[in-house]
Amino acid sequence: MIQFKAVLIRVIKEILRDKRTLALMLLAPILILILMNLVFNSNNDAKIKIGVTDNVPNKIIQALPNSKITIRHYQNSHNHTRKINADDLDAFVTRKNNKLAVTYENEDPTKSSQIKSLLTNALLVSKVKELSATLEILSLQSPKKQATPNFKLSSSYLYGSSSSTFFDKIFPILIGFFVFFFVFLISGVALIRERTSGTLDRLLATPIRRSQLVLGYLAGYGLFGILQTILIVLFAIYILKVEIVGNLFLVLLTNILIALVALVIGLFVSTFANSEFQMMQFIPIIVVPQVFFSGIIPLDTMAHWVKFISYLLPLSYAGNALTAVMVKGQGVNIIVTDWLILLIFLVIFTFLNIIGLKRYRKV
């Protein structure tokens, strides 16, 4: 019993002496809860955007719920693919004889299913209203009104297929997240070991420049980060059979960029941690918020001021680029802005790492 009390008192005293660890243990869960509250309770009820041509009957359009759908009218269906991309439409509807031809963007398969359900219901409602009006006309013995045809839905998909699932949407983002998480963790813990073993102090005692030291760390850890990234991507494609519509090289390059960004952020954060245990406690502060704003949870459902947080997180840009390539098959001209922003993160945190080494240089 005495030994138990001694161990208990020792652990409590160690934690109380380590104010940073105590603060991270208490404040990190609160931060996550605040973010979850903002993400899930700041719902803007973003409407589904559907484009319709002028030959689609008004009865069907009026049967669609205004509270859920925003309708955009077009004269014709020419270049409807370009219209979907340019106007950020979730679906495009036109009439072809007795069919409603629907082209779903299908970036988010759950939206496609919702639109299909709403259109099916609108056809049913419009048909019921027409039947009621016909019965009323017959009861008044008026001339018979010409009935509109029974429309059927014809579906096509801009991205993916009818078998696409929500997992297909989030998988590109998950690849980027796993690359970011493991590289961030490994790089941060590795530099802490360099410090605690005295290796960093011995290096800084030499004439080596801080910039050379940081770039050396980046090159060394970066090689293994790139190797890990290639392994994750190739395993997902060839073993898990994940379909990539776009160029595989662009997928690899985007993941390598996010790995390098995770590397410099991990090195930077490690300067504020005194042990591997403290480094682990930075995960809820640095890594977890990235998940909320990476695109796994649709950003268009959030309030505008909450959505602004995503602009400050590198994984949101990696998620945009990976989705554009893997799901939509788009090229460099679309994702180059995301690449440039990731490069800006890389440069900024490399510079901060060089400055941060000042605290460890004794002379």
Structural domain range at position 116:
48-157
* Cα–Cα distance for residue pair 339/254, rounded to 1 Å: 7
- 252, 237 Cβ separation under 8 angstroms: no
Q: What pTM was estimated for this model as a whole?
A: 0.79
Tell whether 124 and 201 lie within a shared domain: no
User: How far apart are the C-alpha atoms of 93 and 355, rounded to whole Å?
Assistant: 56
- Residue where a domain terminates, one of 125, 157, 189: 157
Q: Do 197 and 148 share a structural domain? A: no
Domain boundary among 107, 123, 157: 157
For the chain, how far is it from start to end, CA to CA, in angstroms?
A: 49
pLDDT in tens, the chain (363 residues): 776 677 777 777 776 777 766 776 777 777 777 777 766 665 555 678 898 988 888 888 888 887 778 888 898 888 888 888 888 888 999 888 888 888 998 888 888 888 888 888 888 877 766 555 555 555 555 444 445 557 778 888 888 777 777 777 888 888 888 889 888 888 888 788 877 777 777 777 777 787 788 888 788 878 887 888 888 888 887 887 777 888 888 998 999 899 899 989 988 888 877 777 778 878 888 888 888 888 777 776 666 777 788 888 999 999 999 988 988 888 899 899 999 999 999 999 999 888 877 766 554
Tell whether 194 is covered by a domain.
yes
Q: Is residue 22 part of a domain?
A: no
User: Does 242 fall in a domain?
Assistant: yes
- Of 117, 121, 100, 115, residue with least CA distance to 50: 115
Pure H helices in the chain: 2-17, 19-41, 58-63, 80-86, 109-139, 166-196, 199-204, 210-238, 248-270, 276-281, 283-286, 288-292, 304-307, 314-326, 332-356
Task: Indicate the residue among 157, 181, 206 that finishes a domain.
Answer: 157
Judgement on whether residues 231 and 122 belong to the same structural domain of the protein: no
The tally of domains found in the chain comes to 2
What are 180's two structure tokens? 């970011």
Same domain, 272 and 129: no
Instruction: Report yes or no on 31 lying in a domain.
Output: no
Strand duo 99-104 + 69-74: pairing: unpaired
